[in-house]
Amino acid sequence: MFVEPSVVLVAFRDSAMEHTRDWGAALAAHGGLSALPRTHLLFVETRVLKLFKSLFVSSLRQATPASQVDATLLSFDADETVRAALGVDNRLFGYALLVDAEGRIRWRGKGPATAGNVQRLASAVSGL
């Protein structure tokens, strides 16, 4: 389990990865959220990328900041059960999930990290 609240950034598609990068930058820039542990959970569903796994993994490793490499999880299998458990209803969007110390999802945002969404996340964190 988690020892403290954390944010899990989830992406299923390339467009969603852009959203998770946006969330990562917004969290780093926000004083009250910058210290929250972050995990990036990336699901690869595109057949072409699956064929070139090693090239994709190498490219992703180069594009990932060194401080986030150990907190980035990559999966080439994602079924409906995973999406339902995470509350992902649209794979085209990136998701930011606030997970409490018991591993429960306490807040969910999707799409780009708008100022309103970041503020709602900050409020949810302060409510834990």
Instruction: Give the per-residue pLDDT at 55.
Output: 60
The domains found in the chain, sorted by start residue, are: 6-126 (3.40.30.10)
Task: Give me the half-sphere count of Cα atoms (radius 13 Å) on the Cβ side of residue 122.
Answer: 18
In this predicted model, what pLDDT tens digit does every residue of 52-106 receive, in sequence order? 666 656 666 666 666 665 565 666 666 677 778 888 889 899 999 999 988 899 9
Instruction: Give the per-residue pLDDT at 118.
Output: 94
Instruction: Give the per-residue pLDDT at 95.
Output: 94
pTM of the model: 0.76
Cα 22 to Cα 3, 86, 127: the distances in Å are 25, 19, 24
What are residue 37's phi and psi, to 5 degrees? -60, 140
Instruction: Give the per-residue pLDDT at 68.
Output: 60
Q: Is the pLDDT of residue 50 over 60?
A: no
